[in-house]
A and B are shown apart, each in its own frame.
Chain A
Amino acid sequence: MRSPAVPWPTVPSLLDKRLIFVTGKGGVGKSTVAAALGMLGARHGLRTMVAELSSQQRVQGLFERYGEQFEEVQLAPRLFTISIDPEHAMDEYLRVKVGALGHALAGSRLFQTFAMATPGMRELLTIGKVWELAQLHRRTRGASPYDLVIVDAPATGHGLGLLRTPKTFADIARVGPIAHQGRTIAETLADPGFTGVVAVATPEEMPVNETLTLCETVEEEELALDLVVLNGLYPVRFDRREVDQLSDALERSRSPLSRTALRAALAEHSRAANQREQQARLKAGVNGRLVELPYVFTEQLGPRQVEALADGLEQAIRRPRR
């Protein structure tokens, strides 16, 4: 299998981009990685937005905030979040961008229903709002620009579909305002100086498969994959000799508590060993370069854990000194 080229030279400047999509299979910790990247941006003095899609509000939860939905909410100095909803985005677009006519459409139930039922329209509106957030001159009245927008994007397949939507619409519509807007957004997404993609995987078979497929497809889509994050790596606590010792002890021990603890140790060791196989597979597929984040043993992920993950990312994507 041809190993996809990951354009690593761009990595040190990840935070110089304005728009970063974080994608990966469901359950791999995309929101957490997006939040950690956001924290990193804010640390570096950037006014940073972490945008969630499909009405999720995980990032607010990570910061123990439960504020307004669909509004720009501040989490920490220079760090903001928003949950993007297509209906809300369409209303905003029509009223602000299209003017009086837009007001008429926004007020039409018939139009609303038609637009929302049109395949791809929800994605187009979502990505349109993301694009708007990343503009220097914000369409939203009274809104300040962001230096960096990080998108907690849908799972890999849907995430790529989302990035493809503006071009699809531009192609179908050919001329007219949607085609124009679609092309503008598509150009922004295709500009590696502006837009980046971060893939997150856990060291398990399916997430690694998805990431390897992603590496190939982003290339075909002419997008740049900037960073692969391997999240949730278990520590290897025991070496081979020690594992034998543990197995021996398990055979001999009579104490239920000791036996249970030994079994737990062996089970976790085998889990960690399997993870290393997947880690190696991913490493080979991305030319050996990826950022690894440890599994966080905690009852509840909060700002402190996100802070620690941001530290982990920091080393990998430190900006070059000027």
Chain B
Amino acid sequence: MSVAELLEGKRICVCAGSGGVGKTTTSAAVALGVAAEGAKVAVVTIDPAQRLANALGVEELPNEPHRVDPGRLTAAGLEVQGELWAMMLDPKRTFDELIERVAPDPGRAEEIKANRVYRELSSAVSGSQEFTAIAKLYDLDQEHEFDLLVLDTPPSRNALDFLEAPERLNSFLEGSTLKALARPAGRGLRVLGRGATPVLAALRRVTGVDLLTDVGTFFGLLGDMTGDFSLRAEQVEELLRADTTAFMLVTSAEREPIEEAIWFHRTLEHGGLPFAGVVVNRVHHDLLDGSEPEDVRPALRRTLGADLAARVADNFRDYHVLARRDDVNVDRLANALGDEPLLVVPQLDEDVHDLEGLLRMHRYLFASASEFEQLLADLVA
């Protein structure tokens, strides 16, 4: 199964997974591959490595998609029929743009942007990246400029944060819970007024008066905009559930990320979200073909001498410890996935940080079944 088949008919591909598994590079390689086959594709990256960012040219035009120079792609050895675009998300700017778009007039937008609660909200590390990533995805989708949008997700320990954090922020922005606690009074919630419920009285005791006043002012400024946030939230939810959307899980072959992928897949299934498949990066394949690592030693002793041959054998043995580890973990993942697609990218000789590296990944991700067999066979010299 190749990524091209998995994404057939899809307009959005969300690459999710725990931190450090190669999400950014996988997203870029996926976008590159689909563009190569003739589509206009944009990849939204969150925090690419410097060299990858340079290679994609995303720093020149922050927060907007930017076409990757086709000449560079050709030079790297891939004829791209379509167009590859890339952008780097700027959460703060995305948040500000959202407010500017939704605010009834520029004055109100400025007031909100100057509000203390808003400033904390929009620059808080946790939550705002996830929220704005999805907001940007939604806006790009609305513009209908691209055949496919590939979204890299923010680095987090817990892959599920990506789904939960925007929901939390949304329910805060909608302010429904706070509205239930206090009655609106002009441009500010009269949270301290008469008729406060016992819950509110308790809340005031626990949080302090100023905090509630600030939050009240913030929601007063948002006013009717909270309704727009609710509406957007619904539309975003719809978009993520659409059958033209695909969640692709990315993992490495180590135990913990694999466990997380299994759990994430279960959650997607449970929540009825569209799942396309899993990419397992950096897999150490068994290269022994039935032999033992030790067999290398006598074979190489004459050419290399006993000492060097022994060290080559040691290295080969260590490699196969990891091959056994990966085999067990990938098997467990395959069992948990049932018939769902599972794609494997072997441990490459070098980390991926440029277009050449993306191309190496691309070969495995977009290979047909027979091509993939050949690639694996090539791993054994």
Contact = CB atoms under 8 A, between A and B. Distances in A.
16 contacts: A54-B161, A98-B206, A104-B202, A116-B168, A119-B120, A119-B128, A155-B155, A172-B116, A173-B211, A177-B208, A178-B207, A249-B303, A255-B299, A261-B293, A265-B315, A270-B350
Interface in A294-311: 297-301
A32 B308 CA distance: 32
B93 interface: no
Nearest to B300: A258
Of B51, B199, B295, the most chain A CB neighbours within 10 A belong to B199
A123 to B, nearest CB: 6
Interface residues of A, number: 81
Given A158-B126, A274-B351, A262 B312 contact: yes
B244 interface: no
A105 B202 contact: yes
A264 B84 CA distance: 34
A321 to B, nearest CB: 38
Interface of B: 18-21, 49-51, 116-117, 120-121, 124-128, 155-158, 161, 168-169, 171-172, 177-178, 180-181, 198-199, 202-203, 205-211, 214, 252, 254-257, 287-289, 291, 293, 295-296, 299-300, 303-304, 308, 311-316, 318-319, 321-322, 324-325, 328, 349-351, 353, 379-381
Nearest to A152: B157
Nearest to A255: B299
Contact of B303 (A98, A174, A253): A253
A55 B158 contact: yes
A317 interface: no
Contact of B202 (A101, A173, A261, A301): A101
Contacts of B156: 26, 154-155, 158
A110 B199 contact: yes
Contacts of A263: 381
A178 B255 CA distance: 40
Nearest to B201: A101
B210 A173 contact: yes
Contacts of A157: 125, 155
A60 B337 CA distance: 25
Contacts, number: 219
Give the dominant DSSP class at B's interface: helix
A14 B75 CA distance: 51
Contacts of A53: 157
A242 B203 contact: no
B155 A26 contact: yes
Given A56-B157, A270-B350, A158 B125 contact: yes
Contact of A27 (B18, B126, B207, B289): B18
Contacts of B324: 299
Interface stretch (A129-137, A139-147, A201-209): A201-209
A259 B303 CA distance: 12
Contact of B205 (A110, A177, A256): A177
B42 to A, nearest CB: 22
A70 B69 CA distance: 51
A120 interface: yes
B20 A119 contact: no
A252 B303 contact: yes
Contacts of A174: 208, 210-211
Contacts of B128: 119
Contacts of A177: 205-208
Interface string A91-115: 0001000100110110010110110
A28 B128 CA distance: 24
Contacts of A158: 125-126, 155-157
Contact of B157 (A94, A123, A155, A172): A155
A265 B128 CA distance: 44
Contact of A178 (B20, B211, B315): B211
B206 A101 contact: yes
A61 B258 CA distance: 14
A271 interface: yes
A267 interface: yes
B296 A258 contact: yes
A111 B255 CA distance: 38
